Amino acid sequence: MYIVENKILEKIRKAKRGSLFFVDSFAAYGNAKAVQKALERLVEKQELMRVAAGIYTRPRISKVLGPIKPGLEEVAAAMAKRDKARILPTGAYALNALGLSTQVPTKVVYLTDGSARNVKLGKQTMVFKRAAPKNFGAYSQVCAMAIQALKSIGKEKVTQEHEQKIIRLLEKEKTHYLEHDMVLAPEWIRKVFRKALKFQANEL
């Protein structure tokens, strides 16, 4: 069992601090039970930090704050990479990420073409919801998030301020991205994209 622990320790020490690891990251070193036990011992020895169930890190160290846990986005990206899945922030989290809301949600929802699951990260919960492939067809992440943010607000509740902030974000994107990605949105959201395209044209 300690051979498994030593092999894991060797691997994590070679990795950059802040890297994320899963139980499956060490599947070559032993069965799941042996690996889990080894990880628990390494947490006790403070070689590793447990981020969530089955997720670990060798944390970055701040001279002021000490060990730093990875952020929610880092964990979500690592999970997506492991699962070879695409993810897209939606709802309140998309609003916050785009600067349309200052509220930091305790429940963060991602659309995914991978497995549906819930992951507890401290006081926050990440929810991965299965979604149709169309949701991941955008060329631009900003465009995709803008569509999700506007859908979250709702057609009847979108204010002029919301619209102007979205337009300012969209007009910075490449024209062919806007033209492609607007097709993925309902007509009332396409109107916002057209305004962004018009602003781009006026700046030429």
What pTM does this model have?
0.85
**Helices 187-203 and 160-170, packing angle to 10 deg:** 60
pLDDT at 204: 56
Residues 196 and 170: beta-carbon distance below 8 Å: yes
For residue 46, give the nearest of 77, 67, 62, 71 by alpha carbon: 67
Question: pLDDT of the chain along its 204 residues, tens only?
Answer: 679 999 999 999 999 999 999 999 999 999 999 999 999 999 999 999 999 999 999 999 998 889 998 989 999 999 999 999 999 999 999 999 999 988 888 899 999 999 999 999 988 999 999 999 989 999 999 999 999 999 999 999 999 999 999 999 999 999 999 999 999 999 999 999 999 999 888 865
Query: Domain segments of the chain: what residues?
Result: 2-68, 72-203
CATH of domain 2-68: 1.10.10
